[in-house]
Amino acid sequence: MKWKFLFLIVLCTAFNYQRARAATAFTSKTCSSVTITATYTSLNAIPQSVVFQVSYGNNVYTFTQPVAVNVNPLSSYNFQATFPAAPNGTRITVNFSPNNGGGLSDTYTCGAASNSAPQFWSPDDGRVNSWMADRIAVYCQDNQVKIYGINNDSQGFLLAAFPYEEIKAAGPKGVIRDRGINGIVSINTDGQGDFYVAWNGGQFSATGQGPYAKLFSCTFPQTQ
């Protein structure tokens, strides 16, 4: 019984941790600027400030930005750092650190075509709010939210199916599924048709952020 209790504490802690963070991703990387888009899922997730550290060659630039007080949860906010232009082909490292944790880092070659903003992707199979870099695909079908993981070979597999009534009953506190080797999947809703899904841990090192998380809207109940 003691071990079961500890296991529940670990699961709840993992869920609260990922839910307190933002879905964060690089949306632009150039030779003179970088933009990160964060989607906050609760008021507690919104930081008071963020720090960018940009480095290339012998140059290191640090930028601290306060977060606007009018940022609302379940909406996107863009952070941008502008720095002296580097020559095309320069390797640039960026570290992004909100004051409440959950940072992001990347090293890229500036001027490369792959550094442009991510493209919206519509594969015409019913998934919601899809992007080409996604590691999860979400479907609102049969009064359920079905979540598929996408492995390193771009193959999908079912992670979890959450009945709408279960999600609705849980509300903002959310529902979690422990998928063993494939990690933990969680979902919550604001009760207004907006949902947030995150995939954490497992054999594919899901982070619960960026391509491993999704904010979307669905209409329930669905009728046949």
Q: Examine the domain organization and report whether 40 and 89 are in the same domain.
A: yes
Write down which residue in 94, 115, 136 finishes a domain. 115
> In the listed set 61, 92, 115, which residue is the last one of a domain according to the structure?
115
Could you list the residue range(s) of the whole structural domain that residue 140 is in?
118-217
Q: Which residue has the higher pLDDT, 185 or 49?
A: 185
The rounded distance, in Å, linking the Cα atoms of 3 and 9 is 10
The pLDDT tens digits for 150-161 are 888 778 899 999
Q: Which residues of 95-122 are buried (b: 16+ CB within 10 A; e: fewer)?
A: ebbbebebbbeeebebeeeebeebeeee
With respect to residue 14, please indicate whether it lies within any of the assigned structural domains: no
Residue 77: is its pLDDT beyond 90?
A: no
Indicate yes or no: pTM above 0.85.
no
- Tell whether 5 is covered by a domain: no
Q: Is residue 182 part of a domain?
A: yes
Separation CA 193–CA 224 (nearest Å): 19
Tally the domains of the chain: 2
Average of per-residue pLDDT across 104-120? 67
Asked whether residue 165 is assigned to any structural domain, the reply reads yes
Per the DSSP assignment, residues forming a β-bridge with 128 are none
Q: What are phi and psi of 102, to 5 degrees?
A: 75, 45
Same domain, 132 and 187: yes
Cβ-proximal residues to 16 (8 Å cutoff; 6+ apart), any chain: none
Residue 217 has pLDDT above 80, yes or no: yes
Domain presence at residue 67: yes
Using an 8 Å Cβ cutoff, are 138 and 147 in contact?
yes
Statement to judge: residues 136 and 192 lie in one domain: yes
What CATH number is given to the structural domain containing 74?
A: 2.60.40.10
Residue 139 is which amino acid? Y
The CA distances from residue 200 to 26, 35, 156, 174, in Å, are 19, 24, 16, 14
Whole-number pLDDT of residue 71: 53
Alpha helices in the chain (DSSP H): 2-19, 164-170
Residue 6 in any domain: the answer is: no
